Structure 1
Amino acid sequence: MKRKAALVFIVLLLGVVIMSSRPAYQYPAPTELRQKAHYLERIIQAPEGEAAELNALGNAEWSLFSMSYSAYAFTNMAQLDSSFRREAAQYTQLAIGKMLAGNIAQAFRNSAATVAADSVTSVLYLGHLNLMLGCHRLLDPNSPYKTLHDSLSASLHRRLVSAPNHCLESYPGGVWVPDNTVALASLQLHSDLTGSRYRAFCQQWVTYARQHLSDPTTGLLLSKPATRHQAAEEPRGSHLGWSIFFLYRFAPAYAAEQYQRYQQHFSTNFGVIRLYHERAGKYETSEGDVDSGPLILGYSIPANAFAFGNAVALRDWRNAQRLRRVISFGSREVETPQEISYGVRFVDLSVSPLAEALLLNAETMTPWQRPSKSQ
């Protein structure tokens, strides 16, 4: 009864505050998007050790995601506004530079002097790096990263084909399905740009995933497959939303199917908003873990934020707006003439560059296509 009363209170409060907002999601205006991009560009460009916001993360993995999701957001923006393409290429190259040297690189490989195709074992690092390289090649046909992009793509393809479960480790002994979807998206983009054969394996992986990497009850992707080092882990909201981001890039029909199942088994529709659970049918309130963050009645911030991006990608505009309302309720914009960033509503807390990059990617999700020769 207490749980039900709390849910009713949340719904009523949010309904009063946001009932007047538009019923369907629309992309932010180009000026607003550029201000958000300028904030991320400043963070990326700051010399290592001087970017207070990145240093505050204290986690090489989160710094990696700040770089990668910024690049994906810039690429989205260039698709929505071709006049931003040159800036997007410049900003993405800066982010790649941070991936290839310094703390991020050192955390994921033994030698910081080279980025040879087999110098790294982590699919978490390699997948995001390779997708960023593809983004730059998409934005700039004369990208200096072509050779590296080709070699990393070949290495990823070779290793994924022969790997147990067709999934590679993110850390020694640790395999996560979401990290592998990033690598697969990078292979699809390489095929789109060069005509390479990797797209065929991406489709083979989907067939395999349906049979061997999915929960038999819900049909949703597992968070972890069973290996000799780990037990399988059930589907989780934060992991599903992450995976759907990248499934959209190489298997859009499968992404749409997973999105519908995710919505069916993990979400509650309150009319003006929709909330997503971290674990299906679970209503715990706790600190959660590093992936979910705090849980309130089983709902997690990442599960809802990623679902928002999924809805934008799949053109579910009404649901995207429901989820955008949830995000707007908990955040406030901090605006200057040059930049827009976010703070936490009701308390004086800043939002990390990782959250900024994730949200900018989510609110701009759109297909990636090579520009016409006239552009």
Structure 2
Amino acid sequence: MARPVGKILRLLLAVAISAAAALATVRLVTPADGDPGVRRQLAFLRDRLEAGSAEDAQELFPEGYFFSYALYGLTAVDQRDLAAARWALSHLVSDAGRAPFTGDMPLQYGVFYRGWVNWLRGGILSLQPTASRDPAEVAAFSSDAAAIAAAFDASPTPFLESYPGQAWPVDSTVAIASLRLHDKLLTPASPQFDITVIRWLANVEARLDPATQLIPHTADPSTGSPTSGAQGTSQSLINRFLPEIDPAFARVQYTRFRTWFLSAPLGLGPTVREHPTGVNGPSNVDSGPLVLGTSLSATAVTIGAAKLNGDESLADGLAQFGEVAGLPVSTPWSKRYAFGAAPIGDAFLAWSKSARPWVAEGSPPPPRVLSTWWRLPLLTLFLAVGAFPWVLAAALRRRRTAA
């Protein structure tokens, strides 16, 4: 009796392994589901937010609560869901949303908080016809943009403080993008903050990371000098926003970013490294655990950066690889990755997959960097895994017959 049961269990295991390999193959060669999948992700995220996922994320890193709602709201804008975007903004401008960003800084609440909130405010206005925009929302957007611009104009450095005594250039990049969005929406004939943005760009170019000539990960808050080199988690975000600020500068930075950070560990990929090629640095709270130098969060966010830079082949490749590595679970009503264990990761991925320009008209495609044959090593691996149980079973039968 034990022998037939064991045989059935082995058969079921072989079928399961082959089915998993077949499913991975289908996901790898099928285009990612785009907006329909994003809308199902938003349904999952709304349910999790209402159940307290933002508060849970806050226990993991300082911007957990903020990013949970901000990314939901930004994705809602990309999906043209005005009510959902306003709902997210209401949580960001609450006491809970502002709580981590206290302290004495030239720009109240710091450039991280002010920049992301202003970007979302502008996105909400962009969904409304000019004649019917909410006057209170217009006034808040204008007031915040003016305060952000004044802080940059008065600063000796292009990188304002996010927290007292701490400056991350990526946060200033988001804030500057919000000024470009303001000028497009409210003052297109005579851009109000054009001089501020031009000055910022010049000051940034004078303070690039010497090793990579990219915008650094951290900077001295009083001088703007780099205090650490470029890193994948911040570069993926920076390159999402630079095309909205200055397409020419963005193209140069994006090309360098791909050169230094795009990788395919073991020939499988594409992925994005946390540290430049040739540098083996540690993980951090933003990157998450590094797998052969790869940051899963930077890889997910680069989907959006590639889209904004016109690099559709790379964006599609990263998204398709994510459909395999991300272990998505779909229903007709919702979609989650990694079995829904980390909703903040779903939020970043949804925002990346739904990316579209808010200011720029769209960038021309850069030279293709992802080979048209990039799937071949993975397909070979899946074929080998799927066939292995049956090849092994056949070999064992021949051995028993020979004996």
TM-score of the two chains, using structure 1 as the length reference? 0.78
Contact 2:262 2:272 in 1 (8 A): yes
Contact 2:243 2:308 in 1 (8 A): yes
Aligned residue for 2:271, secondary structure, equals strand
* 2:113 is equivalent to residue 125 of structure 1: yes
The Cα shift of 1:177 comes to: 0.3
* Corresponding residue number in structure 2 for 1:319: 314
| Aligned partner of 2:90 among 93, 97, 110 | 97
Aligned residue for 1:137, secondary structure, equals helix
Distance 2:331 2:352 in 1: 22
Distance 1:334 1:221 in 2: 36
Contact 1:15 1:272 in 2 (8 A): no
The Cα shift of 1:60 comes to: 5.0
Count of paired positions: 330
Q: Bigger radius of gyration, 1 or 2? A: 2
Distance 1:19 1:39 in 2: 24
Distance 1:254 1:244 in 2: 10
Aligned residue for 1:232, secondary structure, equals strand
* Corresponding residue number in structure 2 for 1:265: 260
Aligned residue for 1:241, secondary structure, equals helix
The Cα shift of 1:227 comes to: 4.0
Quickly say closer, same or farther: Cα 1:273–1:119, change in 2 above 3 A: closer
| Aligned partner of 1:187 among 162, 179, 184 | 179
| Aligned partner of 2:273 among 274, 277, 281 | 277
Distance 1:302 1:241 in 2: 9
* Corresponding residue number in structure 2 for 1:252: 247
Distance 2:175 2:221 in 1: 19
Residue by residue, what CA displacement relative to the aligned partner does 1:4-30 show, whole Å, maximum 9, x if unpaired? xxxxxxxxx99994488348x66x354
Contact 1:185 1:249 in 2 (8 A): yes
Contact 1:121 1:169 in 2 (8 A): no
User: What RMSD over aligned residues (CA atoms) do the two structures have, in Å?
Assistant: 3.1
Aligned residue for 2:209, secondary structure, equals coil
Residue by residue, what CA displacement relative to the aligned partner does 1:114-156 show, whole Å, maximum 9, x if unpaired? xxxx882311111111111111111124233111111111000
The Cα shift of 1:228 comes to: 4.9
Distance 1:339 1:267 in 2: 31
| Aligned partner of 1:146 among 119, 129, 138 | 138
- Segments of structure 1 that go 5 or more residues without pairing to the other structure are 1-12, 79-87, 111-117, 371-375
Quickly say closer, same or farther: Cα 1:301–1:204, change in 2 above 3 A: same
* 2:71 is equivalent to residue 69 of structure 1: yes
* 2:56 is equivalent to residue 56 of structure 1: yes
Aligned residue for 1:147, secondary structure, equals helix
Quickly say closer, same or farther: Cα 1:191–1:228, change in 2 above 3 A: closer
Contact 1:283 1:296 in 2 (8 A): no
Aligned residue for 1:321, secondary structure, equals helix
Q: Single out whichever of 201-210 and 277-286 deviates more from structure 2.
A: 277-286
Q: Percent identity?
A: 23
Residue by residue, what CA displacement relative to the aligned partner does 1:70-125 show, whole Å, maximum 9, x if unpaired? 222122223xxxxxxxxx11001101110111322223248xxxxxxx88231111
Quickly say closer, same or farther: Cα 1:14–1:159, change in 2 above 3 A: farther
Quickly say closer, same or farther: Cα 1:292–1:15, change in 2 above 3 A: farther
The Cα shift of 1:42 comes to: 3.5
1:2-81 pair list within 5 angstroms: 17-18=24-25, 21-22=28-29, 28-44=33-49, 46=50, 51-57=51-57, 58=59, 59-78=61-80
Aligned letter for 2:158? H
Q: Single out whichever of 214-223 and 267-276 deviates more from structure 2.
A: 267-276
Distance 1:89 1:209 in 2: 34
